[in-house]
Protein backbone atom coordinates (compact mmCIF):
# COMPACT_ATOMS: atom_id res chain seq x y z
CA UNK A 1 0.00 0.00 0.00
CA UNK A 2 2.78 2.46 0.93
CA UNK A 3 4.63 1.54 -2.26
CA UNK A 4 1.54 2.33 -4.37
CA UNK A 5 1.11 5.72 -2.67
CA UNK A 6 4.79 6.60 -3.14
CA UNK A 7 4.64 5.54 -6.84
CA UNK A 8 1.56 7.74 -7.41
CA UNK A 9 3.17 10.72 -5.63
CA UNK A 10 6.43 10.18 -7.55
CA UNK A 11 4.54 10.00 -10.86
CA UNK A 12 2.70 13.25 -10.09
CA UNK A 13 5.97 15.00 -9.21
CA UNK A 14 7.64 13.74 -12.41
CA UNK A 15 4.64 14.80 -14.52
CA UNK A 16 4.66 18.27 -12.96
CA UNK A 17 8.44 18.58 -13.49
CA UNK A 18 8.12 17.40 -17.11
CA UNK A 19 5.31 19.86 -17.83
CA UNK A 20 7.28 22.72 -16.29
CA UNK A 21 10.37 21.78 -18.32
CA UNK A 22 8.41 21.69 -21.59
CA UNK A 23 6.68 24.98 -20.83
CA UNK A 24 10.03 26.62 -20.00
CA UNK A 25 11.71 25.22 -23.13
CA UNK A 26 8.87 26.47 -25.32
CA UNK A 27 9.13 29.94 -23.73
CA UNK A 28 12.87 30.11 -24.35
CA UNK A 29 12.40 28.95 -27.94
CA UNK A 30 9.69 31.55 -28.52
CA UNK A 31 11.88 34.36 -27.13
CA UNK A 32 14.82 33.25 -29.27
CA UNK A 33 12.53 33.10 -32.30
CA UNK A 34 11.20 36.60 -31.66
CA UNK A 35 14.72 38.01 -31.11
CA UNK A 36 15.88 36.46 -34.39
CA UNK A 37 12.89 37.86 -36.32
CA UNK A 38 13.34 41.29 -34.77
CA UNK A 39 17.08 41.36 -35.52
CA UNK A 40 16.54 40.38 -39.16
CA UNK A 41 13.85 43.06 -39.57
CA UNK A 42 15.99 45.72 -37.93
CA UNK A 43 19.02 44.87 -40.11
CA UNK A 44 16.93 44.96 -43.29
CA UNK A 45 15.30 48.26 -42.32
CA UNK A 46 18.66 49.87 -41.50
CA UNK A 47 20.15 48.83 -44.82
CA UNK A 48 17.13 49.88 -46.87
CA UNK A 49 16.93 53.25 -45.10
CA UNK A 50 20.61 53.99 -45.63
CA UNK A 51 20.49 53.06 -49.32
CA UNK A 52 17.25 54.89 -50.17
CA UNK A 53 18.49 58.11 -48.55
CA UNK A 54 21.51 58.08 -50.88
CA UNK A 55 19.64 57.45 -54.14
CA UNK A 56 19.22 60.09 -56.83
CA UNK A 57 15.53 59.37 -57.23
CA UNK A 58 12.72 56.90 -57.66
CA UNK A 59 12.29 55.69 -61.24
CA UNK A 60 9.57 53.04 -60.87
CA UNK A 61 6.98 52.22 -58.22
CA UNK A 62 4.37 49.61 -57.37
CA UNK A 63 2.97 48.29 -54.09
CA UNK A 64 5.53 45.46 -54.16
CA UNK A 65 8.46 46.96 -56.10
CA UNK A 66 10.61 50.09 -55.85
CA UNK A 67 13.27 50.95 -58.43
CA UNK A 68 15.76 53.77 -57.90
CA UNK A 69 18.65 55.41 -59.67
CA UNK A 70 21.37 54.93 -57.08
CA UNK A 71 24.06 57.47 -56.18
CA UNK A 72 26.44 55.81 -58.69
CA UNK A 73 23.73 55.85 -61.44
CA UNK A 74 23.24 52.06 -61.15
CA UNK A 75 19.71 50.63 -60.93
CA UNK A 76 18.72 49.65 -57.38
CA UNK A 77 15.46 47.82 -56.74
CA UNK A 78 13.57 46.24 -53.86
CA UNK A 79 11.02 43.55 -54.72
CA UNK A 80 8.57 41.73 -52.45
CA UNK A 81 7.52 38.24 -53.50
CA UNK A 82 4.39 37.25 -51.56
CA UNK A 83 4.60 33.60 -52.64
CA UNK A 84 8.18 33.15 -51.43
CA UNK A 85 7.59 35.60 -48.52
CA UNK A 86 10.86 37.42 -49.29
CA UNK A 87 12.11 40.96 -49.85
CA UNK A 88 14.95 41.02 -52.38
CA UNK A 89 17.44 43.79 -53.13
CA UNK A 90 18.86 43.89 -56.66
CA UNK A 91 21.67 46.17 -57.81
CA UNK A 92 23.57 45.86 -61.08
CA UNK A 93 22.19 42.37 -61.67
CA UNK A 94 23.19 41.04 -58.24
CA UNK A 95 20.33 39.97 -55.99
CA UNK A 96 20.30 39.45 -52.23
CA UNK A 97 17.39 38.40 -50.02
CA UNK A 98 17.12 40.98 -47.22
CA UNK A 99 14.06 39.63 -45.47
CA UNK A 100 12.54 36.16 -45.23
CA UNK A 101 9.28 34.85 -43.77
CA UNK A 102 7.55 38.12 -44.54
CA UNK A 103 3.75 37.78 -44.47
CA UNK A 104 2.93 41.33 -45.52
CA UNK A 105 4.88 44.17 -47.12
CA UNK A 106 3.75 47.48 -48.52
CA UNK A 107 5.53 50.37 -50.22
CA UNK A 108 3.91 53.82 -50.46
CA UNK A 109 5.34 57.02 -51.94
CA UNK A 110 4.72 60.63 -50.96
CA UNK A 111 5.80 64.06 -52.10
CA UNK A 112 6.89 66.69 -49.66
CA UNK A 113 5.57 70.14 -50.39
CA UNK A 114 7.41 72.95 -48.65
CA UNK A 115 5.56 73.69 -45.44
CA UNK A 116 6.32 74.17 -41.79
CA UNK A 117 4.09 71.35 -40.56
CA UNK A 118 5.88 68.54 -42.46
CA UNK A 119 2.73 67.30 -44.14
CA UNK A 120 3.26 64.63 -46.76
CA UNK A 121 0.95 64.22 -49.75
CA UNK A 122 0.59 61.07 -51.86
CA UNK A 123 2.77 61.18 -54.97
CA UNK A 124 1.28 60.39 -58.33
CA UNK A 125 4.55 59.27 -59.94
CA UNK A 126 8.14 58.51 -59.00
CA UNK A 127 9.65 61.75 -60.29
CA UNK A 128 8.00 63.81 -57.51
CA UNK A 129 8.40 61.23 -54.73
CA UNK A 130 10.62 62.38 -51.86
CA UNK A 131 9.36 60.06 -49.13
CA UNK A 132 9.08 56.27 -49.12
CA UNK A 133 6.86 54.58 -46.54
CA UNK A 134 7.67 50.92 -45.78
CA UNK A 135 5.60 48.51 -43.70
CA UNK A 136 5.97 44.79 -43.14
CA UNK A 137 5.12 41.94 -40.80
CA UNK A 138 7.08 38.71 -40.36
CA UNK A 139 6.23 35.45 -38.60
CA UNK A 140 7.44 31.87 -38.21
CA UNK A 141 5.96 28.51 -37.42
CA UNK A 142 7.04 27.14 -34.08
CA UNK A 143 5.87 23.65 -33.13
CA UNK A 144 3.21 23.51 -35.86
CA UNK A 145 1.39 26.77 -35.07
CA UNK A 146 2.26 30.21 -36.41
CA UNK A 147 3.32 32.24 -33.41
CA UNK A 148 5.62 35.10 -32.54
CA UNK A 149 4.14 37.30 -35.19
CA UNK A 150 6.22 40.40 -35.11
CA UNK A 151 4.57 43.76 -34.81
CA UNK A 152 4.53 45.69 -38.05
CA UNK A 153 7.85 47.35 -38.84
CA UNK A 154 7.34 50.70 -40.48
CA UNK A 155 9.55 53.59 -41.52
CA UNK A 156 9.30 56.76 -43.52
CA UNK A 157 12.49 57.41 -45.51
CA UNK A 158 13.25 60.77 -47.13
CA UNK A 159 15.26 60.75 -50.35
CA UNK A 160 17.96 63.34 -49.68
CA UNK A 161 19.32 63.92 -53.18
Q: Per-residue pLDDT averaged across 20-36, rounded?
A: 83
The domain tally of the chain equals 1
Average confidence score pLDDT of the chain: 86
Residue 75: Cβ within 10 Å count: 14
CA atoms within 13 A on the CB side of 95: 8
Q: Per-residue pLDDT averaged across 53-77, rounded?
A: 93
Based on DSSP, count helices (H) and strands (E) in the chain, helices before strands.
1, 11
Residue 134 is part of which domain span? 2-158
The predicted structure's pLDDT at residue 147: 61
Q: How far is CA 87 from CA 19, 108, 135, 138, in A?
A: 39, 15, 12, 11
pTM of the model: 0.78
Amino acid sequence: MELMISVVIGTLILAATGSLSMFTARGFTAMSNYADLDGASRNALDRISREIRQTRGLTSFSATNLTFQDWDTAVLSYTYDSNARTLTRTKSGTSKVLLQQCDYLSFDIFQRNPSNNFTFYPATNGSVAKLIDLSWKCSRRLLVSKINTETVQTDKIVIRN
